[in-house]
Chains A and B, each alone.
Chain A
Amino acid sequence: MSDEINNVILDVLAKHTEMDREKVSLDTRLNSVGVDSLMMVEIIFELEERFDISIPDPEFVGQNNKQFETVADVVRVVKELIEQQQKTS
């Protein structure tokens, strides 16, 4: 399951950044591969749809860019949300 989540997130990122899938990894910094705030809303939307989760907005808009610095940050948040959902369901 865990690897599957990683793979889905890496697939989604590769698709939106139009990069080769092999060139993105958990360590990839989002801003280094051209993920801007607009692309981020698309990626978040797609991940929410894929995993049926709701990714919260950052509490302060000023922190927006710091919410997800690397792919690993995205993976961590998505896994937390999936776990929470499994507990409540």
Chain B
Amino acid sequence: MKRIVVTGMGCISALGPDRAEFTRRLLNGESGIGPITFFDTGDSLVKVAAEVKDYDGSRLFPEKQLTQLDRFAQFALVSAREAVADAGLEFKSPLSGRTAVVHGTGVGGQGTQEAGYHRMFALNEKRIHPFTVPRLMPSAGASWISMEFGITGPAFATTSACASSGHAIGMALLILRSGMTDVAVTGGSEACVTMGTIKAWERLRVMAKDTCRPFCRTRGGMVIGEGAGTLILETLEHAQARGARIYAELIGFGMSADAHNLIQPLAEGAARAMRAALDDAGVSPDAVDYINAHGTATAQNDPTETAAIHAVFGSHAKRLAVSSTKSMHGHTLGASSALEAIAAIVALNNQTAPPTANFREPDPQCDLDYVPNTARPMHIEVALSNSFAFGGLNTALLFRRYAGV
């Protein structure tokens, strides 16, 4: 089977405009969560989010292009530009046709939808902007990436709520393994800190009032974030042939469905995704050192995920470092698996487990080592990144440190 490696990474998030800031703040345990500034939260219960601050699309895109770009597609492009430049790739023929784009999103152009609805239903305007449809379609991010770089191979979006970019990265892996392409630009994007989205989430009663405290006894729920992450995946032979810098090897991918409930998670489903990733890689559970958990900080997720980790790892579970970086970059829905995959690779490359920030006191139901508040230097050979979406759609990505063999 072809070996698949990561040769480029880019991201934009509440932690900063690029991967360098993301990495620095992640390892410092700094949270990007703060009061919502994008709209007046008024009497909302939810007043915090992980917003991408000081972002001005007009500095990055010409005006004519900007009229066709929802914020989520802008983020997709920003992260893809960084990743492609990082990988040092140029997509000339024949590589342009031997490259795939698989980019996920949970909701797509939410800001565009809401602006259109606001004009129609609140302002009673007769018409909405003619580019509403191309802006809001969830596949717009993938399309823009293909257009920007002239990539003409397989290109599509994946959507599975909070596992959207986990499925994207997984599909990219399978495309590369199949020999269909040599390179894939993959990840996910979300720009969901909008009044409609926050109001909708609010009524599910899963949202934190103050901040995101995963696995903590006094956790209050999740905090929505926005951003995008892009990884360049490549067959090892292609990467070696062009002398590319290799960040990590993507050794396993697992996915599963709970077949249980649209909202409530199921430990068995989560466990099956993790086992599938381990089986795919052909490694035993005790080979894993670090888990970047789904860790949403909801009442339901954290004990369920903990139970699933116990079920898969047995006595090794207690030796694992498990952290939820959502405590810092928020829950970015369709971008979360991509950002967290990058966080897992940051852990491998820095030999440091990023912390679970905002942690106050242990929860008896969550009895693993969650690396509270301070990053931990440690030996990390293999790192797992979990995503468990609403609707019980689960992914697990397994990365191994690349030691040049």
Contacts and interface: CB of A to CB of B under 8 A. Distances in A.
Interface string A49-62: 10000100000000
Contacts of B127: 45, 48-49, 54
A80 interface: no
Contacts of A18: 64
Interface residues of A, number: 8
A10 to B, nearest CB: 19
A41 interface: yes
A42 interface: yes
Contacts of A41: 130
Contacts of A48: 126-127
Contacts of B67: 42
Contacts of A54: 126-127
Interface residues of B, number: 7
Contacts of B64: 18
B318 interface: no
Interface string B116-146: 0000000000110111000000000000000
A48 B64 CA distance: 19
Interface in A5-51: 18, 41-42, 44-45, 48-49
B128 to A, nearest CB: 9
Contacts of B129: 45
A65 to B, nearest CB: 17
Interface string B40-82: 0000000000000000000000001001000000000000000
A18 B62 CA distance: 12
A44 B131 CA distance: 12
A17 B64 CA distance: 10
A40 B78 CA distance: 28
A53 B345 CA distance: 55
Nearest to A49: B127
Contacts of B130: 41-42, 44-45
B69 to A, nearest CB: 14
B131 A42 contact: yes
Interface in B89-132: 126-127, 129-131
A48 to B, nearest CB: 6
A48 B128 CA distance: 11
A42 B127 CA distance: 12
B115 to A, nearest CB: 14
A67 to B, nearest CB: 15
Nearest to B128: A45
Nearest to A54: B126
Nearest to B67: A42
Contacts of B126: 48, 54
Contacts of A42: 67, 130-131
A18 B64 CA distance: 10
A41 B127 CA distance: 12
A42 B126 CA distance: 15
A54 B125 CA distance: 12
A44 B127 CA distance: 11
Interface of A: 18, 41-42, 44-45, 48-49, 54
Closest A-B pairs by Cβ, 9 of them: A41-B130, A45-B130, A42-B130, A48-B127, A45-B129, A45-B127, A54-B126, A42-B67, A42-B131
Given A42-B67, A45-B127, 11 more contacts: A18-B64, A41-B130, A42-B130, A42-B131, A44-B130, A45-B130, A48-B126, A48-B127, A49-B127, A54-B126, A54-B127
14 contacts: A18-B64, A41-B130, A42-B67, A42-B130, A42-B131, A44-B130, A45-B127, A45-B129, A45-B130, A48-B126, A48-B127, A49-B127, A54-B126, A54-B127
